[in-house]
Chains A and B, each alone.
Chain A
Amino acid sequence: AQSVAQPEDQVNVAEGNPLTVKCTYSVSGNPYLFWYVQYPNRGLQFLLKYITGDNLVKGSYGFEAEFNKSQTSFHLKKPSALVSDSALYFCAVRDVWQAGTALIFGKGTTLSVSS
């Protein structure tokens, strides 16, 4: 079965410092991986995805993610955090074995950036 895990419930960083939000995956076949962000009382916004190709994927708002096949990881990164980056972040994998190819989500990681 396809699944993702986000091992940290919360990540705290100071503004200006680099941030990493971790995600590991378990899939049968090629992984299709996604990161979404959710601000309070809002829907999920797409940040970036890995389908194939370069292991470093660049996305919205200065975020990037590194795909590592040997470690089955897809960590979200940003070189310099902003207070406005504080939100709930979800990693997801597409379930290609299901007819609807729905996204399967991790439990989410709350990112808190302090000024």
Chain B
Amino acid sequence: NAGVTQTPKFRILKIGQSMTLQCAQDMNHNYMYWYRQDPGMGLKLIYYSVGAGITDKGEVPNGYNVSRSTTEDFPLRLELAAPSQTSVYFCASSNPQGSGSEAFFGQGTRLTVV
């Protein structure tokens, strides 16, 4: 059981470049999330999805876009990368049945924008 899989693990981008962070889960979870982690700041929610075709903004959505064409995949797109987007990105999923369900996290993507 792979759980939540993120690719790539590491990436260096130049300012102004674009890229897509991939996230896939095999637990048939409807709810999926993207967070960014910055030192001393905890995790901040970028975008979330409650099912295929449904996405919404989180706390820090500027500079990012998402799509959810299938239950399994939830890619995060960075357009015109900026140094402020240097961070570690985590994808997560959870079972929507009840607020007591924990979220399962991928291993993260460490992105550096230079």
Cβ of B107 < 8 Å from any Cβ of A? yes
Task: Identify B40's interface contact among A9, A49, A98, A103, CB under 8 A.
Answer: A9
CB distance from A17 to the nearest CB of B (A): 26
Which B residues between 76 and 114 are near A, CB-CB below 8 angstroms? Answer: 90, 92, 94, 96, 99-100, 102-108, 110
State the interface size on chain A (CB cutoff 8 A): 27
Q: Is the interface of B mostly helix, strand, loop or mixed?
A: strand
Task: Identify B104's interface contact among A42, A46, A94, CB under 8 A.
Answer: A46
Stretch in A61-69, A70-78, A79-87, A105-113 with 4+ CB within 8 Å of B: A105-113
Cβ of B52 < 8 Å from any Cβ of A? no
In angstroms, Cα B33 to Cα A56, docked, is 29
Judge whether A107 and B49 touch: CB under 8 Å.
Answer: no
On whether A107 and B48 interact (CB within 8 A), knowing A94-B99, A100-B56, the answer reads: no
State the interface size on chain B (CB cutoff 8 A): 28
CB distance from B56 to the nearest CB of A (A): 6
CB distance from B6 to the nearest CB of A (A): 8
Cβ of B53 < 8 Å from any Cβ of A? no
**Which single residue of chain A is at the shortest CB-CB distance from B9?**
A41
> What residues on A are CB-neighbors of B104 within 8 Å?
46
Judge whether B102 and A101 touch: CB under 8 Å.
Answer: no
**Which single residue of chain B is at the shortest CB-CB distance from A104?**
B45
Judge whether B100 and A51 touch: CB under 8 Å.
Answer: yes
In angstroms, Cα B101 to Cα A51, docked, is 9
Q: Can you list 19 contacts pairing A with B, beta carbon distance less than 8 Å?
A: A32-B100, A41-B110, A42-B108, A43-B106, A44-B90, A44-B92, A49-B102, A51-B100, A90-B43, A98-B48, A99-B56, A100-B33, A100-B58, A101-B94, A103-B43, A103-B92, A104-B45, A107-B41, A107-B42
Contacts from B to A (Cβ < 8 Å): 4, 31, 33, 35, 40-43, 45, 48-50, 56, 58, 90, 92, 94, 96, 99-100, 102-108, 110
Contacts from A to B (Cβ < 8 Å): 9, 32, 34, 36, 41-46, 49, 51-52, 90, 94, 96, 98-108
Q: Which 7 A-B residue pairs are closest in the complex by CB-CB distance?
A: A100-B48, A51-B100, A43-B105, A105-B42, A107-B42, A44-B105, A105-B43
